[in-house]
Chains A and B, each alone.
Chain A
Amino acid sequence: MTNNIYAIVAKVFSIPESQVNDQSSPENIDSWDSFNGLILVDELENHFNIKFSISEIIDVKTVSDIKRHLKNHNVTLDD
């Protein structure tokens, strides 16, 4: 099991992993709309076996925000 968050983001938004970085956001990923955003939440929750709060979900603007919240849930990431 990979804890590579870029791979998960890439899969959900159907883009190459190389295009994902900490600054990735709905601004620079076309397929990152509100619905796919929720799908991403669902994927992350299942993958790391955690539950985000609603304020955490709404707060996410970029991939680095996701990393920050994951760390609050004591998830260790690969990088």
Chain B
Amino acid sequence: MERKLSEYISLSQTIDITKSSKKIKIGLLSSFTINGLSETLTVKCSELAIECKSYVAGYNQYNQEILDPKSKLYSFSPDITFLIIDIRTLLNEIFYHPYSISSSERKKIVKEKITELENLILQFKKNSNSKLIIFNFSLPSYSPNGLIETKSEFGFHDMINEINQELSKIVKNESSVYVYNFRQFTSKFGERNIFDYRQFFIGDIRISFDYIPYLANDLMGYVKPMLGLNKKCIVLDLDNTLWGGIIGEDGFDGIELGQTSNGKAFVEFQKELLSLWDRGIILAINSKNNFDDAIKIIQEHPDMILREKHFASIQINWNDKAQNLKQVADEINIGLNSIVFFDDDKLNRERIKQEFPEVLTVELPDDPSQFSAVLKELNDFNVLQQTDEDTKRGQMYAQQRERNRFEKSVSNLDDFLKQLDIKVKIKKSNEFLIPRISQLTLKTNQFNLTTKRYQEEEIRNLSNDSKFIVGCAQVLDKFGDNGITGAYIINKNEKFWMIDTFLLSCRIIGRGVENAILSEILKDAKKNGIEEIKAEFIPTEKNKPAENFLSDYGFKKQENFWVYNLNNNIKSPNHLTVEIENDK
């Protein structure tokens, strides 16, 4: 349940920022009164240990703030800015009298409005590094044309739909600009609730008090991923969470799943979980049960939606729940703070909350018919950009579990590597790969020689620079596609090549992939008549796994650099195949 605006306002006066570990600066621009929004955001931030500073522009001052490079907004230098223009402001008198003009005039006005919005976005980008979140426009339920509105030639509602569509198009290719779907917000809570005529006339308030906290909640959806507070993995209990009843008591045929009304609720919940898995959220199981009983349901029950292949870690045993949860995090190699925990049992939830406060433990209601709604209310899974690898993450982690099991079943490492059928595809950077290469440089900490971080724009520039080679590697094996998991940047001098960046995602370390990529770089250099390759290892707190990589390969230390003489043999591992893709 969301709290009242008045409560947020009084809470905002008693915030203790000393407990905050992260900071954010929020700019708020709007065409009407939005009192209370910044207070609510500040409180919601403080509850996540974020110190929030905000700048609220003067009433309807958004144009001046954006167009003037010396405006107070820009000198505040926000990290994220919300631009809230409502449809009444945008269309002005046309909002009331759309049919006082012809359809071609309506089209013309829409074009002008789109240009106006596009220009605001452009100017904002020119003057600020802040992310910009622009609200789209709610569609009034009313039309003066009544029921023939839907037959009107480029009618009132068509105008607003067109503006919304064009706005999305403009923003689609802007990496720092997003459209907030305010239209969807209005349809979720209802026009009659959101718009209160009395508040409108008295204070020019166009989002009524009661709904400001819900709006703030949606806007927090942007703040969380900006600060790395988004969740990546859902850990699930089984009995009375994924199905009704207790397998140990009710048996295979006795549990509720599918068929009954109650059983349908669990199927629905599983479908929603699967849809999150489809887009890259990792799933795992943490259940106190006999393994054989529970896994049989997962493998064989006809109404089960989630199967073994969807889970990256399966902990079904009689161990302590907290210990199991830690085991899940270790197995998948993610932080406890990226985990969401679902369990119908209050005591289990309390146990996890106490042991791991950084885990988001969801307060599940007793009634399973509400599980789906609770899941969909969470706005913790948002990301601000998504690569192919992100969407396949759930799948990749589940394959990893298979791989680990296989590794345990094979007696020695060499046999394991041989039987994995690893294939490394080496690719030169291109427009599709740039976001992923940038993401790898930003996120990879362990196997990373230099830990240099590059934004997308920088990778694009390096890719277009003939003095540099930017490449990456896709790794596949018999269990599936690991995606683009390695990247490198070479600085080409006339006499020698310098390895500027060389990194590997931690989930494929130790399979010879690093040696395969490196030897391809060396071969390429030799082909280009180069005699020496230089590399650097810049130690950090986390990159110990890469410490001995260069010396193990045969690089020799010369002053600050590691050097490989290309007259030496170039060895490459023989348990894997390498493919070079040259298409640019």
Contact = CB atoms under 8 A, between A and B. Distances in A.
B207 interface: no
B147 interface: no
User: Which interface class (under 10, 10 to 19, 20 to 34, 35 or more) fits B?
Assistant: 10 to 19
B10 interface: yes
A58 B202 contact: yes
A contact patch SS: helix
Contact of B210 (A12, A14, A42): A42
A42 B209 contact: yes
Interface stretch (A18-26, A33-41, A66-74): A33-41
Interface string B194-209: 0001110111010001
Nearest to B196: A42
Contacts of A58: 202
Nearest to B200: A54
Nearest to A13: B10
Contact of A54 (B6, B10, B13, B201): B201
Contacts of B199: 38
* Pairs of residues from A and B, 9 with the lowest C-beta to C-beta distance, nearest first: A35-B35, A54-B198, A39-B6, A42-B209, A14-B10, A38-B203, A43-B6, A54-B201, A12-B6
B10 A38 contact: no
Given A14-B13, A35-B35, A42 B202 contact: no
A46 B5 CA distance: 12
Interface string A28-52: 0000001100110011001000001
A38 B6 contact: no
Given A35-B35, A39-B209, A57 B13 contact: no
User: Which interface class (under 10, 10 to 19, 20 to 34, 35 or more) fits A?
Assistant: 10 to 19
B57 interface: no
B9 interface: yes
Nearest to A41: B198
Interface string B166-202: 0000000000000000000000000000000111011
Interface of B: 4-6, 9-10, 13, 33, 35-36, 197-199, 201-203, 205, 209-210
A39 to B, nearest CB: 5
Given A11-B6, A14-B10, A38 B205 contact: yes
Nearest to A14: B10
Contacts of B201: 54
A38 B6 CA distance: 10
Contacts of B4: 43, 46
B210 A54 contact: no
Nearest to A36: B9
A39 B202 contact: no
A11 B201 CA distance: 25
A51 B33 CA distance: 22
A12 B203 CA distance: 18
A57 to B, nearest CB: 6
A35 B5 CA distance: 12
A39 B9 contact: yes
